[in-house]
Structure 1
């Protein structure tokens, strides 16, 4: 399975083109699973997405992880809308692993095409990639794609089940199906008879549904588009919600790990007598550096306390590996040196940028930098595993349950069918739990526990120091203005590590091929109408693990691009909003978002000082990512100690059809807090292959007292839903930096933002 998925990611679209007969047919159905999803006794499964119980509850099967982004609420509402269910009777449960639940959208969106590019090549690549993902893809939660990918399958699942219920009622009551209505979980006929879903479910399972379910028009929606309360909120409030770290199978033991302090190193010798002498310690296990993890030693004990106490007594000799001479300062020096000669892979060309720069009346130049970043989710890395009788059972938080299953099966040398994955809520993911290292490690620990389940827990410091980091990156910009101060040329080259080849190696054991779009996304795929443009990225390889961090390349490329655009506007003597608007004449959607944010923020109007009399200034940024367009205006002041304070952020977003306005506002607020924490303090410093930070005291999160007021304004739309979880992150750093430049005259070109 792993090798088949790798085939897709390494270029399945091109290979699929050879299979002409297969390629011209539509992707296979995503309604019925290859095996009937499990259901409680007496319950009825009507398709691969929902189960109805005799007491009329509708359980929606979730193929995507819930990590605080509201995916479960949004997806359940979409299905319940077409089913015409009673929202108070809707529940959710995790779906089993099956190909119908594969994520098609995230890989299609990862193809390296500019959003403005149209034509046969792009259409064919997207079509074939979607078809291939349906067959051999993965159940990935990532790329802000959950609602986007499952918008149609969830609607069809609801409409399909509704048609079955109606058919069952029509047969029972001997009336035409067309005369039957469904609303709020009640199936009724005008002549009087009515029934609830649980009364009809068993009979409905034997009915024949229309081949193509009839879907509602958006103007007829009653649930989708409404600000519904989060479906998992009650469980989080009363403590019944189960996260990965809450798994408590009978007979549970606990393991603490001692990991090589140098990232990627391994054990060369161990002395564990001191650990085994600690009361409650069962045994120690040497862990190899599999799937990108650092090697180490695990101590299994009766309680977490005894496991930690035993781990403190372990003495290890380390083989530090190739990262032993690596430092973040040295990496940035090498990136800057490479920037001097870099040409890179051109992700976007328009006209002749070099020629246009050569004839420009004025040329603006600047270099930008961004550091390595850790994910630092609130729930530290953990997983619970039991290995017994040739089988492995896992309880964990993951964004890739099927990839976990494949990796664990390979590590234990058993068949994938012998691995059972119980997917629990995530206490934050941000891309870290797209990796499989911690699951494989937990399985190897459990393999040594004589059949007992073991929960392996990392400390906060281990989580931060053994992450897969957002790559450091540098970029050089040149822009040309004509004698009327109009932008005529845009030239941008960035240099940094590529993520996808590393992921391909550590997850699948195979090299990745082709350009990595994530390295340049946020730079090349933007709507601005540059008459001449050259945008490229040059990949540099370091012995340092990098991974997908919330909004990936957009997280730093947006900072580079939007800050430099402000610099060019200043050089042209133009207002930053007006300057951007002039570059969006053929992009009304983006222009509307920009104007909405500016209007709601009072752009151009005087801004009152702070309560203690300090001046404030506004900064703006506009960015497209994951199909959505977000503009943010930040109001900023600077304290006597040069501390940066963000008072208010006005956010405008066009994310297509707004499935749940509450969730959209919450995600914009969370993105601002997440992105602002990184913008003000986020940085991972590395010396001799060892991360110097260890906890939230040196990887700070924005505190409540420092949080700005965040106002979210949603552009009405009937378009296909687009991403929400990540698009609010990229604009906040440039909006703040642009405000600081307006306020202080200092142009900060490196993250995190620190005033001189």
Structure 2
């Protein structure tokens, strides 16, 4: 199926004006969700929204427009960055509206918290593996209300009971099947009917689903395969100039000296812009801009962070981690139970800073005028972007137009507006539209990194080897305190402790706390999974340590601690069964297992690895079992399991951002290594089907894979990896 290409022309070709929206709507449905569990509120006439544009104040969470041709447009509240939401969210709507998937067109939503709030997160934001969870009910209700209105319109025209009519594939038929009316023919009449309350509209019983749960093909694949898909970096506008940028290599540094004349002497260079913390060369094309930047021979004043090193940061974390933190979980008396335990196990775990390194490097096109600012970008957070630009320019929010695009890799990087803000600062000095593109080196060395975490754990075991005490202190940066301040309360970052504060196991005495430590000269942010990507590694590795101390099989040990948690136990058992747990392996081969509950889903993985005598690690097979509740598209789930597993595995094997003299030492894919194709293991996915509420998928495998791999390495070598990336030198055979 062909998806409409989301154009990056001027605003009059892109945005839905209030007048055009009202005049061409036919039947339009809006739905609002004020918070988790709230009931959507519907309005079914464009005239009822006359006081509000698409970005107005009626506060629906998204819109459906059915025009007289019968085309259904879903104004998509989430952004597509490879996770498949164009397909899965369209499936939710199509299921209840009774249209085929290829009858739905998708249009990016404009920035508006009120209309497009993600109820899981609380703002208009694509992240947290929350798209299906947030819109599972609202989009289905939108489709059901639309279907009922269309049925009612047809019944009124035919003077029959609506209950005798049937909708299918965008057409309403009467009881005999001899009378037919398309949705397009009914749209105008349906828009004039009173809207039934959402609570009065019955949703389909899952047993009657015809689309949800099937392997629907990705609707955005054709345009991505044939090159019609447009990303932010593809923006083309009349009179567009291109800018290459150099940012201070040390956070807080400024330009010290620059050869502006040499830069301007380069052919096709039009302008030189110095904004203090960065320099941009504006040219007719990227080649000239890069040559101009090189000719500028920039020298920097590194500022107060010029001596920062990774060793300094780790020392700071280590010292701060000795202090009590904000309590995330306290049950029983872990201190006393630890003192009285028959056996005590202690460990320190560390995980490094990580970059996003998306395939589409940071870019943003800006046309700044006296009374408005147009921005062409791929962003996961359009309202935050709009607000920050409005603050920077002094323009009202409604004068800042964010034209969102497909994203060539998000992983949390595009939750931040720093790239857009930099582009707007440059655009202030440029007459006309300018596209600012970061080089790969600028992208990696000026990322906002997954925090470095330093964890201290202790456990007490009874005489049978079962845990009677568990303490876990997490020290690291708080992304939440900066990004979502209302969620950071009493010194506790809920994301930093997710999957640690509530481990899936029965632990009678547990104490978990968090110490906020902000490293100087480093910006931290969301990275695909954030807190759980570190906590699951730590918790699942430490559980393995306890099993070893108790001289018990790691699978059997976990099973004894999961008797109260049937869904976690089920995925653990399924993964182990499918992986052939316990069957013989060659020397220096091992299997490792991990289990987690995060993002609303239960996941377990078994990794099979081999470790060479030279310490080299080969991950040969990953078996994943997942219970994500009711699932929408198994094909997309499998793709997300594969992609997320490899993303997390890349970090476990190679990922590390380090600092020396205030500078990031890694600069491109030769020093910040991606996984190579010869390293990629077989990834198997096994789904557990049930009727539970949907859970999230995209980040679940990223969080769980590292522990499965390091536990397998221990099984193969007897050597425990308590820090990432895996130190292969420590795994060399001494024989």
Normalising by structure 1, report the TM-score. 0.87
Q: Does structure 1 residue 599 correspond to structure 2 residue 581?
A: no
Q: 1:439 aligns with which of 412, 416, 420?
A: 420
Question: Could you tell which deviates more after superposition, 494-503 or 653-662?
Answer: 494-503
Aligned residue for 2:291? 309
Structure 2 residue aligned with 1:375: 356
Q: Is the 8 A contact 2:62 2:77 kept in 1?
A: no
The alpha-carbon deviation at position 35 of structure 1 amounts to 2.8
The answer to whether 1:524 aligns with 2:501 is yes
CA spacing shift, 1:23–1:259, aligned 2, 3 Å: closer
1:573 and 2:555 correspond:
no
Distance 2:43 2:504 in 1: 36
Deviation digits for residues 365-424 of structure 1, max 9, x if unmatched?
111111111111111000111112421111111001111111111111111111111110
Q: SS in structure 2 opposite 1:700?
A: coil
Q: Partners in 2 of 1:682 and 1:317 — Cα distance?
A: 30
User: How far apart, in 1, do the equivalents of 2:301 and 2:202 lie?
Assistant: 62
Paired residue total: 683
Matched, 1:219 2:200: no
Name the residue aligned to 1:548: 526
SS in 2 for 1:729: helix
Does the 8 A contact of 2:710 with 2:720 survive in 1?
Answer: yes
Structure 2 residue aligned with 1:353: 334
Q: Tell me by how many angstroms 1:512 deviates.
A: 8.0
* Inter-CA distance 513–253: structure 2 relative to 1 (3 Å threshold): farther
Match of 1:203 in 2: 189
**Aligned: 1:154 with 2:120:** no
Counterpart contact for 1:468–1:546, Cα < 8 Å: yes
Q: Which residue of 1 aligns with 2:246?
A: 258
Task: Work out whether 1:229 is the aligned partner of 2:246.
Answer: no
Does the 8 Å CA contact 2:368/2:424 hold for their aligned counterparts? yes
Give the secondary-structure state (helix, strand or coil) at the position aligned to 1:256: strand
Residues 1:332 and 2:314 are matched in the alignment: yes
Rounded Cα–Cα distance in structure 2 between residues aligned with 1:530 and 1:59: 50
Instruction: Name the SS of the counterpart of 2:703 in structure 1.
Output: coil
Match of 1:412 among 390, 393, 404: 393
CA distance in 2, matches of 1:602, 1:669: 20
Are the equivalent residues in 1 in contact too, given 2:61–2:77 (CA < 8 A)?
A: no
Q: Give the distance between the partners of 1:153 and 1:406, measured in 2 at CA.
A: 26
1:710 alignment partner, one of 677, 683, 690: 683
Contact 2:118 2:131 survives alignment (8 Å): no
The answer on 1:175 being equivalent to 2:160 is yes
Where do residues 435-474 of structure 1 align in structure 2 (5 Å cutoff)?
435-450=416-431, 452-474=432-454
Matched position secondary structure for 1:716:
coil
Offset at 1:724? Answer: 0.7
TM-score calculated relative to the size of structure 2 = 0.89
Alignment partner, residue 468 of structure 2: 488
Deviating beyond 4 angstroms after TM superposition, the runs of 4 or more aligned structure 1 residues are 22-28, 30-34, 510-514
Deviation track 1:208-236 (CA, whole Å, cap 9, x = no partner) reads 22112321111111111111111101110
- Shift, 1:534, TM fit: 0.8
**Where does residue 366 of structure 1 map in the other structure?**
347
Distance apart, 1:63 and its partner CA: 0.7
1:104 Cα offset (Å): 4.2
Which residue of 218, 228, 236 maps to 1:240? 228
State the distance in 1 between where 2:626 and 2:35 align. Answer: 36
What is the aligned partner in structure 2 of residue 110 from structure 1?
Answer: none
The alpha carbon displacement at 1:48 in A equals 4.2
* Deviation larger for 731-740 or 23-32: 23-32
Say yes or no: does 1:86 pair with 2:100. Answer: yes
CA RMSD of aligned residues (A): 2.2
Counterpart in the other structure of 1:291: none
Q: Residues 703-742 of structure 1, C-alpha deviation per residue, up to 9 Å, x if partnerless?
A: 2222111111111121211111101111111100000101
Q: Which residue of 2 aligns with 1:292?
A: none
Give, in angstroms, the shift of residue 66 of structure 1. 0.6
Preserved contact between residue 106 and residue 142 of structure 1 (Cα < 8 Å): no
User: How many angstroms does 1:312 deviate by?
Assistant: 1.0
- Alpha carbons of structure 1 residues 395 and 30: separation in structure 2 relative to 1, 3 Å: farther
Contact 1:67 / 1:426 at 8 angstroms: preserved in 2?
A: yes
Deviation at 1:640, TM superposition (A): 4.3
Secondary structure, aligned partner of 1:49: strand
Between 1:200-209 and 1:590-599, the stretch displaced more is 200-209
1:163 and 1:265 map into 2 onto residues whose CA distance is 61
- Summarize the Cα distance change of 1:221–1:322 in structure 2 as closer, same or farther, 3 Å threshold: farther
Structure 1 gaps, min length 5: 1-21, 39-45, 108-132, 289-294
- The match for 2:255 is 267
**Aligned residue number for residue 407 of structure 2:** 426
Aligned residue number for residue 683 of structure 1: 656
Alpha-carbon shift at residue 628 of structure 1 (Å): 0.9
The Cα offsets for residues 567-606 of structure 1, whole Å up to 9 and x where unpaired, read as 1001111111111111111111111111111111111122
Alpha-carbon distance in structure 1 between the residues aligned to 2:341 and 2:723: 27
Distance 2:519 2:111 in 1: 35
Distance change >3 Å, CA 23–CA 453, structure 1 → 2: closer
SS at match of 1:210: coil
Aligned to 1:606, the other structure's residue is in SS state: coil
Query: Displacement, 1:648?
Result: 0.7
How far, CA to CA, are the matches of 2:535 and 2:515 in structure 1?
14
Counterpart for residue 282 of structure 1: 270
The C-alpha deviation readout for 1:240-267, integer Å capped at 9, x for no partner, is: 1111111112221100111111123233
For the structure 1 residues 467 and 677, does the alpha-carbon distance in structure 2 shift closer, same or farther, using more than 3 Å as the test?
same
Return the alpha-carbon distance in structure 1 between the equivalents of residues 302 and 37 of structure 2: 52
| Offset from partner CA, 1:44-66 (integer Å, 9 cap, x none) | xx994212233332221111111
**1:223–1:315 Cα change, 3 Å:** same
Structure 2: gaps (5+ residues): 1-33, 731-735
Which deviates further from its counterpart, 217-226 or 318-327? 318-327
Alpha carbons of 1:590 and 1:55: their partners in 2 closer, same or farther (altered >3 Å)? same
Distance (whole Å) between structure 1 residues aligned to residue 252 and residue 484 of structure 2: 17
Deviations, residues 509-544 of structure 1 (Å, cap 9, x unaligned): x99874211222221122211011111111112222
Equivalent residue for 1:559?
537
Q: 1:588 — aligned with what? A: 566
Show CA shifts across 1:441-475 (max 9, x none). 1122223221x211100000100000111111111
Please give the alpha-carbon distance, in whole angstroms, between the structure 2 residues aligned to 1:218 and 1:516: 37
Q: Is the 8 A contact 2:480 2:488 kept in 1?
A: no
Retained in 1: the 8 A contact 2:36–2:119?
no
Q: What's the offset of the Cα at 1:96?
A: 2.3
Counterpart CA distance in 2 for 1:363 and 1:560 is 17
Question: How big is each residue's C-alpha offset from its partner over 1:92-128, in whole Å with a ceiling of 9 and x where there is no partner?
Answer: 1112233444434433xxxxxxxxxxxxxxxxxxxxx
